[in-house]
Amino acid sequence: MILVFGKTGQVASELQHEKNLTLIGRKEANLLDLDTCKKLIHEYKPDAVINAAAYTAVDDAENDRALADAINGIAPTVIAQSCRKLNIPFVHISSDYVFNGSGSNPKLNSDIPSPINAYGRSKLLGEDGIRNSGCVFAIIRTSWIISPYGNNFVKTMHEMAKKKSTLSIVADQSGGPTPAKSIAQACLRVAEELIKNPLKAGTYHLSGTPNTSWAELATKIFQHIESDVKINHILTKDYPTPAMRPLNSRLDCSAIEQVFNIHRPNWDKSLKNILKQIREIK
């Protein structure tokens, strides 16, 4: 049995459909309640643990750094330490935001992180804590998560298409939109592999292909829903937000393909089904 922290987020919602998992939501274990988190791990004695829970409000984190650090940094560290005591693998989802977004080449999993916002720093805090815990771990960095669940760009555009005839969308940020379902499946496969072979532990990247911009992603969304919303391409500097965003969110995913045979998902192939599910959920 694999124990999953998280129940309602984008990746956790996809994990709900998988077998041999026990999902722990906020009611059972708030990540701020570290004693309960540790207790549950020791009570369940799972074969592995996946952390699919996180603080994801990037802009809010600028004014709520302590909470972001507690959920994204301290909690994963404590979970990793508990996994170390039981000698079980820990799979944790991290973010491209641990990088500063410089350059145009895809970021390697070996590149040195340098986050430019509080959210990215909180995710890096978690990564460092997990590595220092001594547990068998896999950190999976991903980017631009899309799904029918939670808050994400696809759902926002779907709603905006009902209200607006023209939208201004950032066109100078580049990355790979990643279906939450693909991340969920990757977490499971990696956890199962680490149970059998702990030597595969490490830090990996997984993002969708092909790399694109937010404006281009919006164009695809509107094509699929047959909307005639006009898109104005703008620069990041013309759309100021409390938290700085990296311009380059491209990730080199060759390591996870070589070690686990996990390939980059084609986000456009998933997009039509995601939009269909959004309509059905409504």
Residues with catalytic annotation? 119
Q: Which of 240, 279, 256, 250 is nearest to 91 (CA)?
A: 256
Across the beta sheet with 212-213, the strand order is 212-213, 174-175, 248-249
Fill in the DSSP letter of residue 66: H
In order of 39, 134, 273, the CA distances from 73 in angstroms are 19, 16, 33
Burial class (CB in 10 A: 0-12, 13-18, 19+), 268: middle
Partner residues linked to 137 by β-bridges: 90
Burial class (CB in 10 A: 0-12, 13-18, 19+), 131: middle
Q: Which residue has the tokens 């092909």?
A: 210
Partner residues linked to 212 by β-bridges: 175
